Amino acid sequence: MGLKHILPGGGTSATTGGIFGAGSPTFLTSKVDWIVNWGRRNSLWPMPFGTACCAIEMMASAASNFDLARFGMERMSFSPRQADVLICAGRVPYKLAPVLRRVWDQMPQPKWCISMGACASSGGVFDVYSMVQGIDTIVPVDVYIPGCPPRPEGLIYGLMMIQEKIRQETLTRHFEHRAEDPTRVAKPQVGDLEVAELSGPFGNSTQQDQLSSGEVVREGSTSDDLLP
Amino acid sequence: MTDKKSGSGLDAVDEGPISSDASSADHGGDEADASEHTSVAALKQRFADAVVRHRVYAGGQHVVWIDPEKSHEILSWLQADPDHHYDMMSDVTAVDYGNGRPVNVVYQMFSTVHKRELRLRCELPLDALEIDSIVDLWKVADWLEREVFDLFGVTFKGHPDLRRILMPQDYAEGHPLRKDFPLRGRFSRAEQTRRALAQDVERFYRAEDLSAGHIPQEVAPVEVGTLAQGEREGNS
């Protein structure tokens, strides 16, 4: 049994019409890239990594009012093995960092990562000894969503940006972009200098320098210098 | 800061804790008559040499500073004596006032029998952060004392399992809630990130921790063969 017996129109049959009328072919030509990306971007299964109030907004996004399933995020995958998008919603303490990294390492390729909210993206107000200053030091992040916490519209917009990113990917370059070095499993995502730069001081950390290696006060500086 | 500018909320951050020497420390609160609180009166009478001072805060919270050497004796008496019977240990915590002043270990107790509340404090000098554990009196003190050990570095003598509870097991930067601890930790962010990712997550737990809640119950053995096929226990 071939395609022509299944599809209405029966191939190039002269008697029964195809979708473009009698005698027309019942197949379309397209690019493999387009088909693959179309499939991928409309069936993203998120791995929710909710640690704080952002997770409440994430739950609201998945509930009936905002209905994340409209965009193909039909099922929150609580197992990283079946997930495509890691949504890190909330602050991540250093004690949780290896867990986040392991969840990311367990997700199969291709995978994407959303950093939701100020804390996940930069440490937020938690510029302290126990908090990861942006999860981009732990895992590679595709989309950062600002807000404290972001509204569900923000999360949905972030997921649509992931979809837009997938739309522009090509199979030939995809794995080149996303190839992972197995020797870097459970290692910081970026080098020491980048970590220091990403977690530079702000707010009330006026007594310490960028590397936070002690109580260094710059000559002649007062706390007023650092006020906006 | 040399010149005083007003209006900046961050002044206190630059200046650090307000300095005062330990001898003239003002403990706040109101002087109160011990006769207002039955247990305080009894403590003053029975352990006269171990009671350091007595204050009342917020209208009715009686706080008694006691000698750390006698803490276990006093606490076990307060728990066991039928006139006081403090059967609930609400909280065990600590306060570091900074500038070399002693760390206070705080015991917040409640007697469900007499509906009476009492707070005890023990002052521990920074070079001798040691006090007797009270896990043998109140089992709840187990994790509370671990928390105080983790965050303040107070050693509880006789604690069955004194290890960190909130910070990672191999945390090497010290005890975070001490006033001499820098806000962002002692290591650089890069080193902190590297150490965090090198943690072995399984080491957070012991085998007993993971099996908690799964302790097999003692079940009366069912005698095999006494019931006919399909028959259930209790059927006649």
Mind listing the pLDDT tens digit for each residue in A11-24?
554 555 555 666 66
- Yes or no, beta carbons of A223 and B198 under 8 Å apart: no
Cα–Cα distance measured from residue A87 to residue A152, given in angstroms and rounded to the nearest whole number: 13
Beta-carbon contacts of B114 under 8 Å, excluding residues fewer than 6 positions away, are B38, B83, B84, B85
Show which residues on chain A lie within 8 Å of chain B, measured between beta carbons: 94-95, 97-99, 101-102, 127-130, 132-133, 137-138, 186-188, 191-193, 195-196, 198-199, 201, 204-208, 211-215, 217, 222-224, 226-227
Among A92, A189, A212, the residue to mutate for chain B (most B Cβ within 10 A)? A212
Residue of A nearest to B4 (CA): A222
Chain A residues with CB under 8 Å of B8 CB are 223-224, 227
Backbone angles phi, psi at B157, to 5 degrees: -70, 130
- Domain B27-167: give its CATH architecture: 2-Layer Sandwich (3.30)
Chain A residues with CB under 8 Å of B189 CB are 133, 137, 195-196, 198-199, 211-212
Quote the percentage of chain B above a pLDDT of 90. Answer: 36
How far does the CA of residue B53 sit from the closest CA of chain A (Å)? 36
Q: Going from the N-terminus, what domains does chain A have, and what CATH number goes with each?
A: 2-40 (no CATH), 45-177 (3.40.50.12280)
**Residue boundaries of the structural domains of chain B:** 27-167
SS3 of residue A25 by DSSP: coil
What was the pLDDT predicted at B172?
87
- Yes or no, beta carbons of A195 and B186 under 8 Å apart: no
Which of A44, A29, A53, A119 has the alpha carbon at shortest distance from A83?
A44
- ipTM beyond 0.85? no
How far lies A213's CA from each of A5, A118, A190, B125, B183, in Å? 74, 24, 19, 27, 11
The alpha carbons of chain A give a radius of gyration, in whole angstroms, of: 24
Residue B22 pLDDT level (bands cut at 50, 70, 90): very low
Backbone angles phi, psi at B64, to 5 degrees: -120, 125
Residue B20 pLDDT level (bands cut at 50, 70, 90): very low
Q: Which residue has the tokens 């126990």?
A: A130
What was the pLDDT predicted at B123?
93
Number of CB pairs, chain A paired with chain B, less than 8 A apart: 114
Chain B residues with CB under 8 Å of A126 CB are none
What was the pLDDT predicted at A18?
55
- Yes or no, beta carbons of A212 and B193 under 8 Å apart: no
Q: What is the pTM of this model?
A: 0.74
Chain B residues with CB under 8 Å of A105 CB are none
Q: What is the pLDDT of residues A113-169, one digit of tens each?
A: 999 999 999 888 888 899 998 898 888 899 999 999 999 999 999 999 999 988 888
Cα–Cα distance measured from residue B200 to residue A186, given in angstroms and rounded to the nearest whole number: 10
Chain B residues with CB under 8 Å of A205 CB are 183-184
Residue of B nearest to A185 (CA): B197
Mean pLDDT (whole number) for B129-143 = 92
What was the pLDDT predicted at A226?
38
The alpha carbons of chain B give a radius of gyration, in whole angstroms, of: 25
- Yes or no, beta carbons of A213 and B188 under 8 Å apart: yes
How far does the CA of residue B161 sit from the closest CA of chain A (Å)? 20
A129, A132, A223 ranked by CB distance to B13: nearest: A223
How far does the CA of residue B2 sit from the closest CA of chain A (Å)? 10
Chain B residues with CB under 8 Å of A215 CB are 182
Alpha helix locations (H) across A107-207? 117-122, 152-167, 171-178, 192-198
Residue A77 pLDDT level (bands cut at 50, 70, 90): confident
Q: What is the pLDDT of residues B72-92, one digit of tens each?
A: 999 999 999 988 899 999 999
Residue of A nearest to B175 (CA): A129
Chain B residues with CB under 8 Å of A201 CB are 184
Q: Find the farthest-apart pair of alpha carbons in chain B and give their distance in angstroms, rounded.
A: 94
Q: Per-residue pLDDT for B41 more than 80? A: yes
Residue of A nearest to B192 (CA): A94
| pLDDT: which is higher, A127 or A185 | A127
Chain B residues with CB under 8 Å of A128 CB are 183-185
- Yes or no, beta carbons of B14 and A196 under 8 Å apart: no
